[in-house]
Amino acid sequence: MPESALGRWLKGLRDDRSLSLRDVSQRGEVDHAYVYRLETGAKESPSVDVITKLIEALTPSSRNVEILRFLASHPSVDVGLADFAREDESVTPEEFHMLTTVVNRGARPDYATSLARIRRFMQEEDDG
């Protein structure tokens, strides 16, 4: 079954809290089978209501909430990018959004290099 960035992010948030699918289902009042389908990528683009319920159930940081909402409305985000941002908590939601727009030419995206370029650009903009 194909994975999605949203699914990986949701599963990561659930794992961070050591919650089962049923725990999240009960806390958020969302069918556990639907949560499973979101996590596996079988379903994408859940409603704002469902995302809100999942956020209430998972109680993630504000950074993770912003990225989760972004992923819910952008199903084509690369799974590797989501993994990169989950591992590097210094990646802000704004930087994450910018990374999703970077065109990677070559066999393998280099998110760290792209992030460094984005940060340099943003610093130059701030310096003015």
Q: Indicate which CATH number applies to the domain containing 73.
A: 1.10.260.40
Task: Give how many domains the chain has, as a whole number.
Answer: 1
Q: Which residues of the chain have pLDDT under 70?
A: 1-2, 104-107, 128
Give CA–CA dist 92/53, Å, rounded: 23
| pLDDT for position 108 | 76
pLDDT in tens, 12-47: 999 999 999 999 999 999 999 999 999 999 998 899
| pLDDT for position 40 | 95
Q: Please report, for residues 41, 49, 74, 92, 109, the alpha-carbon distance to residue 80 in angstroms, rounded to integers and kept in the order given.
A: 14, 27, 14, 16, 9
Provide the domain limits for residue 29: 5-127
* Percentage of the chain lying above the pLDDT 70 cut: 94
| pLDDT for position 71 | 97
Contact assessment for residue 72 and residue 6, using Cβ atoms and an 8 Å cutoff: yes
Contact assessment for residue 109 and residue 124, using Cβ atoms and an 8 Å cutoff: no
Residue 83 burial by Cβ neighbours in a 10 Å radius (0-12, 13-18, 19+)? middle
